[in-house]
Amino acid sequence: MNNFTFYSPTYFVFGKDEENKTGEYVKRFNGSKVLIHYGGGSVIRSGLLDRIKKSLDKENISYVELGGVKPNPRSGLVYEGIELCKKENIDFILAVGGGSTIDSAKAIAAGALYDGDFWDFYTDKIVTKALPIGTVLTIAAAGSEGSPDSVITKEEGMFKRGATGEALRPMFSILNPALTQTLPAYQTAAGVTDIMAHLFERYFTTTNDVEVTDRLIEALLITMINEAPKVIKDPNDYQARANIMWAGMLAHNNVCGVGRSQDWASHDIEHELSATYDCTHGAGLAVVFPAWMTYNMKHDIKRFARLATNVFNCKMDNDNPESTAKAGIQALKSFLKSIGMPLTFDEIGAKEEDIPAMAHSACYGNKRTGTLGGFATLTEEDVINIYKLML
Amino acid sequence: MNNFTFYSPTYFVFGKDEENKTGEYVKRFNGSKVLIHYGGGSVIRSGLLDRIKKSLDKENISYVELGGVKPNPRSGLVYEGIELCKKENIDFILAVGGGSTIDSAKAIAAGALYDGDFWDFYTDKIVTKALPIGTVLTIAAAGSEGSPDSVITKEEGMFKRGATGEALRPMFSILNPALTQTLPAYQTAAGVTDIMAHLFERYFTTTNDVEVTDRLIEALLITMINEAPKVIKDPNDYQARANIMWAGMLAHNNVCGVGRSQDWASHDIEHELSATYDCTHGAGLAVVFPAWMTYNMKHDIKRFARLATNVFNCKMDNDNPESTAKAGIQALKSFLKSIGMPLTFDEIGAKEEDIPAMAHSACYGNKRTGTLGGFATLTEEDVINIYKLML
């Protein structure tokens, strides 16, 4: 196990109706002038936004609103939000929505206290200062409610890139599983896939002897495999929604990823897909992950065989561990298909002829220096080969 | 899953040599006049205390010392520490040691900002204010380095009781697994048992549909079963020590226990043993837990059978799940014996004739109201019967 620090000071408030306490938590964390940031009409139609405003009113907290966050959130709205914060002297940002909204809120929070272009943080600068953020989560997926990360797409060049920094961890996050019950099955399944991807990205490591985090990751993966089919079958299954929602936070606040090398190449490879075709990030990951695994299995057959046996209940073939490893990848594909996720380029409208440009952007775009990954180091050629496995 | 809040804002610093940064972290959390609290001679003999003082000197932080914490820490030293804090205007308490030292430091931290008798917190009062605490951990066991809890023994009446409150969570905790390498095998195994007990106490619940926390608890239990034999065989196995140390924190910061009822009767039953015979807490738990399980199995055979299959690798007997449940308890006993833990009264010097007094104290002592537990509600008679199973 490598040396590490772990700091997850977000105050999590979990369960039915807890969003009605939003005002209390904004007050607890000293918010007095709030920017409420959200996406489209669903938070308005469902009455969620009204309930939240009511709870802010109750605490005499004033607010302005900025809606319009789109999936794969864009830099344009971030610039607008930063201006608004400066003009209105905002001291707290409240994100009401899923990962896209929270990530957009984080970008605004960092940009509001920075004199340069906020995009610097999405190139190579660590965020050390940001306005305090609170979240009311409506989708279990990105884990942004407990993470120090944010991903934004810059319209100029269509770069989809991430920023990080402890200052981006929310002060509080309110997680009410019932708020996710209205999500369409496809979005629910894409969220599950995103959560599983965050776990895989930590599972595939070059660090030895990390049994405790290996076991935790496996535990959360099994949870997803057991609970996801329940919510696909019955969208109103509160308990299964609850299990997925808490697992989604734990999959990405890094409690399972400390002390070990990680590999985020698959996220980078997917980001090109969602930047190019505007597909749902989780659906893109369903296409990418089996391909990434198939291509990189050779680097550590034992680890892939362990995943197959411990998570997908495959039988270990000691004479031919590669066949066990392959059976695990096949089981993952079957699972993803069973919850309605795509597995090929065709299914997300991606095109073979775009592969070279996407591989080049993944490896060299926005100041990148040529290789991706940690478990396996991928060149532009490797990335091309991985995309080809998705055809 | 029940509604819950989860807040674990401790800054964890994990790995080799990290104790040399103690001064930096005290400074980061605004400590300027520190009480260094520790136990016996081992932290002096090993040079650990000197290294820590050096790191405080480097940051120009002044300090006074209070050593002498004993296992099953006593109220007498706590009163002394509280006086010292008031006299010396201490603004930060640094605990260097294991759970006993950290618990004693927490009691002093709470008492230093309280006008009444600190024991009120160990009777029924929640701690809402305390001096900030930092820890340098030397034993993986109690989980106090990441918990809001403290257990102290009051000499008058020999009550061993717990206090709780978010204010008792350390600001930072430094966990260097190498510092645990000098521990005798018996203390190491007792620590492992304590960690497993914290997991069992969360596992045995009356809350349904808590797959995510069930799986996390099982993951940490499996980690203990896999890693403990390695450190018993080779005390210098840093990697196994590291896995146990991080698991020990996670077993008790409540990340695995949120949203579900818990059952702490076995800790209460053990506290009478360590208060009466001054045995190591973990060793006492090794005696108590199989007995508690055997007595309470009837309340949820399925849960015990699940533990047996998912953690102890027993084969499920669907026609007779009780036999599977029993096999699990037997496997736990075998495991505890294999790492050198006691299983009976005799082995810890406990006496049958003390059973009635201990059962009475557990149920009625220090303002208790007659019953213990949550998974199973235990009367004084039940507690007597459980003690008898340990003979």
Q: Report the DSSP beta bridge partners of residue B97.
A: B137
Tell me the pLDDT band of B360, cut-offs 50, 70 and 90. very high
The answer to whether residue B366 scores a pLDDT higher than 90 is no
Q: Look at residue B222 and tell me if it is in a domain.
A: yes
* Residues of A with Cβ-Cβ distance to B239 under 8 angstroms: 1, 208-209
pLDDT at B180: 97
Q: Would you call B211 and A218 a contact, using CB atoms and an 8 Å cutoff?
A: no
Residue type, A159: F
Q: Look at residue B5 and tell me if it is in a domain.
A: no
What is the rounded CA–CA span in Å between residue A320 and residue A383?
27
Predicted confidence (pLDDT) per residue in A18-35, tens digit: 999 999 999 999 999 999
Domain count, chain B: 2
Domain end (from A134, A154, A179) = A179
**Same-domain status, B200 and B114:** no
**Same-domain status, A172 and A194:** no
Q: Look at residue A2 and tell me if it is in a domain.
A: no
The residue of chain B with its CA nearest to that of A241 is: B1
**Same-domain status, A172 and A204:** no
Q: Would you call B240 and A209 a contact, using CB atoms and an 8 Å cutoff?
A: yes
Nearest-CB residue to B223 (from A9, A212, A239) = A212
Per DSSP, A174 falls in state: E
The answer to whether residue A367 scores a pLDDT higher than 90 is no
Domain end (from A153, A179, A205) = A179
What is the rounded CA–CA span in Å between residue A292 and residue A290?
6
Mean pLDDT for chain B overall: 97
Q: Show the domain range for B61.
A: 11-179
Looking only at the bridges linking them, the beta strands covering A159-164 and A149-154 are antiparallel
What is the rounded CA–CA span in Å between residue B134 and residue B95?
6
Q: Select the residue from A25, A213, A216, A258 to test the B interface by mutation, using most B Cβ atoms within 10 A.
A: A216
pLDDT at A223: 98
Q: Would you call B209 and A243 a contact, using CB atoms and an 8 Å cutoff?
A: yes
The residue of chain B with its CA nearest to that of A11 is: B7
Q: Look at residue A1 and tell me if it is in a domain.
A: no
Predicted confidence (pLDDT) per residue in A118-145, tens digit: 999 999 999 999 999 999 999 999 999 9
Query: Count of H helices and E strands in chain A?
Result: 14, 8
Q: Would you call A223 and B243 a contact, using CB atoms and an 8 Å cutoff?
A: no
Residue of B54, B282, B276 lying closest to B183 (CA atoms): B282
Q: Would you call B14 and A6 a contact, using CB atoms and an 8 Å cutoff?
A: yes
Nearest-CB residue to B13 (from A5, A215, A246) = A5
Q: Which of A78-82, A87-91, A297-301, B70-74 is predicted with the least confidence, judged by mean pLDDT?
A: B70-74
Tell me the pLDDT band of A281, cut-offs 50, 70 and 90. very high
The residue of chain A with its CA nearest to that of B6 is: A12
**Same-domain status, B43 and B120:** yes
Could you tell me what percent of chain A has a pLDDT over 90?
96
Residue of A306, A254, A263 lying closest to B222 (CA atoms): A306
What is the rounded CA–CA span in Å between residue B172 and residue A260?
21
Q: Would you call A215 and B210 a contact, using CB atoms and an 8 Å cutoff?
A: no
What is the rounded CA–CA span in Å between residue B361 and residue A143?
46
What is the rounded CA–CA span in Å between residue B374 and residue B296?
11
Looking only at the bridges linking them, the beta strands covering A133-137 and A172-175 are parallel
**Same-domain status, B118 and B211:** no
**Same-domain status, A85 and A196:** no
pLDDT at B157: 87
What is the rounded CA–CA span in Å between residue A312 and residue A237?
23
What is the rounded CA–CA span in Å between residue B375 and residue B378?
9
pLDDT at B51: 97
Q: Cβ–Cβ contacts within 10 Å for residue A372, how many?
A: 24
Q: Look at residue B6 and tell me if it is in a domain.
A: no
**Same-domain status, B43 and B139:** yes
Residue of A291, A188, A171 lying closest to A248 (CA atoms): A188
**Same-domain status, A165 and A191:** no
The answer to whether residue A339 scores a pLDDT higher than 90 is yes
Nearest-CB residue to A14 (from B10, B250, B259) = B259
Reduced to 3 states (helix: H, G, I; strand: E, B; else coil), residue B149 is strand
The answer to whether residue B367 scores a pLDDT higher than 90 is no
**Same-domain status, A202 and A345:** yes
The CA-based angle A336-A340-A341, given to 5 degrees, is 55
Q: Are B101 and B40 in contact (CB under 8 A)?
A: no
Return the CATH number at A50: 3.40.50.1970
What is the rounded CA–CA span in Å between residue A125 and residue B6?
31
ipTM comes to 0.97
Residue of A283, A264, A278 lying closest to A72 (CA atoms): A278
* Residues of B with Cβ-Cβ distance to A222 under 8 angstroms: 215
Letter string b/e over residues A106-137, b meaning 16 or more CB atoms within 10 A of that residue's CB: bbbbbbbbbeeebbebbeebebeebbbbbbbb
The answer to whether residue A295 scores a pLDDT higher than 90 is yes
Reduced to 3 states (helix: H, G, I; strand: E, B; else coil), residue A321 is helix
pLDDT at A158: 87
| Residue B71, H or E segment | none
**Same-domain status, B230 and B349:** yes
Q: Look at residue B2 and tell me if it is in a domain.
A: no
Nearest-CB residue to B15 (from A3, A213, A218) = A3
Predicted confidence (pLDDT) per residue in A167-190, tens digit: 999 999 999 999 999 999 999 999
From the CA of A16, how many Å to the nearest CA of chain B?
7
The answer to whether residue A390 scores a pLDDT higher than 90 is yes
Pairwise pLDDT comparison (B366 vs B227), residue with the higher score: B227
Q: Would you call B218 and A219 a contact, using CB atoms and an 8 Å cutoff?
A: yes
The residue of chain B with its CA nearest to that of A240 is: B209
**Same-domain status, B216 and B316:** yes
Domain end (from A164, A179, A194) = A179
Q: Look at residue B1 and tell me if it is in a domain.
A: no
Q: Are A136 and A39 in contact (CB under 8 A)?
A: no
Return the CATH number at A373: 1.20.1090.10
**Same-domain status, B122 and B252:** no
Q: Look at residue A267 and tell me if it is in a domain.
A: yes
